[in-house]
Structure 1
Amino acid sequence: MKLSLALHRPALAYSMTTLGAGMMNSIFNFYYVKLFLNRYKISEGAFHQAQVVFMIWNAINDPLFGYIQDNSKTGFCSIRRHSILYGAPFYALAFLLPWFPWKDYTEGEWLSGVHLLIALCVFDGLLTFVLLAQCALFAEISTRHESRLQLIKYNQIASLLGSSSILFCGLVSDNMENFPSFQTFTVFVAVLSTACMCYTGVFGISQYEQQEKLVESSGKSETSLSWAAVLSLTKQILTQKNFLLFVSMNFFQVFHSTFCSNFMIIFADNLIPKDALPSFVRSIMYGAGFMFPQLLVLSSHSLLSSIGYYKVILYAFYVEAISAVLMLLTGPQHFYILAAFLITNM
Structure 2
Amino acid sequence: MALLFGINRPAVAYSMTTLGSGMMNAVFYFYYVKLFLNRYKISEVAFHQAQVVFMIWNAINDPLFGYIQDNSKVQCCNRRRHSILYGAPLYALAFLLPWFPWKDYSAGEWLIGLHLVVALCVFDGMLTFVLLAQCALFAEMSSKHESRLQLIKYNQVASLLGSSSILICGLVSDNMENFANFQVFTLFLAIVSAACMCYTGVFGVSQYENMPKSFDSSRAVESDLSWASVLTLTKQILTQKNFILFVSMNFFQVFHGTFCSNFMIIFADNLIPKDALPSYVRSIMYGAGFICPQLLVLTNHYLLSKIGYYKVILYIFYIEGIMSVLMFLIGPQHYYILAIFLTANMVLVHASFSLFNLPLADIVDADLEKYKRKSPLSSMVFGTNALFTKPAQSLAPMLVVTILNQYGYDHLSSKNTVPDPSLFLGLHDAMFNLACAVPLCIAAVQIFIWTPYSIRSSHVVSAY
TM-score (norm 2): 0.69
Alignment-derived partner of residue 225 in structure 2: none
**2:171 matches 1:171:** yes
Alpha-carbon deviation of 1:163? 1.1
Contact 2:238 2:244 in 1 (8 A): yes
Q: What amino acid does structure 2 have at the position aligned with 1:177?
A: E
Alpha-carbon deviation of 1:103? 0.5
Alpha-carbon deviation of 1:69? 1.4
Alpha-carbon deviation of 1:307? 3.6
Alignment-derived partner of residue 52 in structure 1: 52
Matching of residues 107-186 of structure 1 within 5 Å:
107-143=107-143, 145-186=145-186
Contact 2:3 2:9 in 1 (8 A): no
**2:375 matches 1:341:** no
Q: Percent identity?
A: 79
Matching of residues 188-203 of structure 1 within 5 Å:
188-203=188-203
Q: Structure 2 CA distance, aligned partners of 1:175 and 1:230?
A: 44
1:170-215, CA deviations, whole angstroms, 9 ceiling, x for partnerless residues? 0111000010000011111100000001111112233322233xx7
Q: Would the alpha carbon gap of residues 52 and 229 (structure 1) be closer, same or farther in structure 2, given more than 3 Å must change?
A: closer
**2:317 matches 1:317:** yes
Contact 1:91 1:126 in 2 (8 A): yes
Matching of residues 249-264 of structure 1 within 5 Å:
249-264=249-264
Alpha-carbon deviation of 1:312? 2.4
Q: Would the alpha carbon gap of residues 84 and 236 (structure 1) be closer, same or farther in structure 2, given more than 3 Å must change?
A: closer
Alignment-derived partner of residue 187 in structure 2: 187
Bigger CA drift: 233-242 or 76-85?
Answer: 233-242
Q: What SS class does the counterpart of residue 102 from structure 1 fall into?
A: coil
Alignment-derived partner of residue 26 in structure 1: 26
Q: What amino acid does structure 1 have at the position aligned with 2:58?
A: N
**2:204 matches 1:204:** yes
Q: What SS class does the counterpart of residue 53 from structure 2 fall into?
A: helix
Q: Would the alpha carbon gap of residues 207 and 280 (structure 1) be closer, same or farther in structure 2, given more than 3 Å must change?
A: same
Q: What amino acid does structure 2 have at the position aligned with 1:320?
A: E
Q: What amino acid does structure 1 have at the position aligned with 2:194?
A: T
Matching of residues 187-336 of structure 1 within 5 Å:
187-212=187-212, 221-223=214-216, 225-226=219-220, 234-235=234-235, 237-336=237-336
RMSD of the alignment, in Å? 2.2
Alignment-derived partner of residue 80 in structure 1: 80
Q: What amino acid does structure 1 have at the position aligned with 2:253?
A: Q
Contact 1:92 1:193 in 2 (8 A): yes
1:33-80, CA deviations, whole angstroms, 9 ceiling, x for partnerless residues? 000000000001100111111111111000111111122221011121
Alpha-carbon deviation of 1:168? 0.7
Q: Would the alpha carbon gap of residues 338 and 5 (structure 1) be closer, same or farther in structure 2, given more than 3 Å must change?
A: same
Alpha-carbon deviation of 1:101? 0.4
Alpha-carbon deviation of 1:140? 2.9
Contact 2:20 2:196 in 1 (8 A): yes
Alpha-carbon deviation of 1:148? 3.3
Larger helix proportion, structure 1 or 2? 1
Q: What amino acid does structure 2 have at the position aligned with 1:263?
A: F
Q: Would the alpha carbon gap of residues 76 and 320 (structure 1) be closer, same or farther in structure 2, given more than 3 Å must change?
A: same
Bigger CA drift: 228-237 or 289-298?
Answer: 228-237
Contact 1:7 1:150 in 2 (8 A): no
Q: Would the alpha carbon gap of residues 51 and 172 (structure 1) be closer, same or farther in structure 2, given more than 3 Å must change?
A: same
Q: What SS class does the counterpart of residue 209 from structure 2 fall into?
A: helix
Q: Structure 1 CA distance, aligned partners of 2:229 and 2:2?
A: 42
Q: Structure 2 CA distance, aligned partners of 1:26 and 1:4?
A: 31
Q: Structure 2 CA distance, aligned partners of 1:54 and 1:174?
A: 29
Contact 2:13 2:199 in 1 (8 A): yes
Alignment-derived partner of residue 37 in structure 1: 37
Contact 1:53 1:117 in 2 (8 A): yes
Contact 1:160 1:294 in 2 (8 A): yes
Alpha-carbon deviation of 1:90? 0.5
Alpha-carbon deviation of 1:263? 1.2
Q: Would the alpha carbon gap of residues 101 and 232 (structure 1) be closer, same or farther in structure 2, given more than 3 Å must change?
A: closer
Contact 1:292 1:343 in 2 (8 A): no
1:268-310, CA deviations, whole angstroms, 9 ceiling, x for partnerless residues? 1111111211110000000001112211111112333444433
Q: Would the alpha carbon gap of residues 295 and 70 (structure 1) be closer, same or farther in structure 2, given more than 3 Å must change?
A: same
Q: Would the alpha carbon gap of residues 6 and 68 (structure 1) be closer, same or farther in structure 2, given more than 3 Å must change?
A: farther
Unpaired runs of at least 5, structure 2: 222-227, 347-464
Q: Structure 2 CA distance, aligned partners of 1:322 and 1:38?
A: 33
Q: Structure 1 CA distance, aligned partners of 2:298 and 2:10?
A: 20
Q: Structure 1 CA distance, aligned partners of 2:211 and 2:5?
A: 23
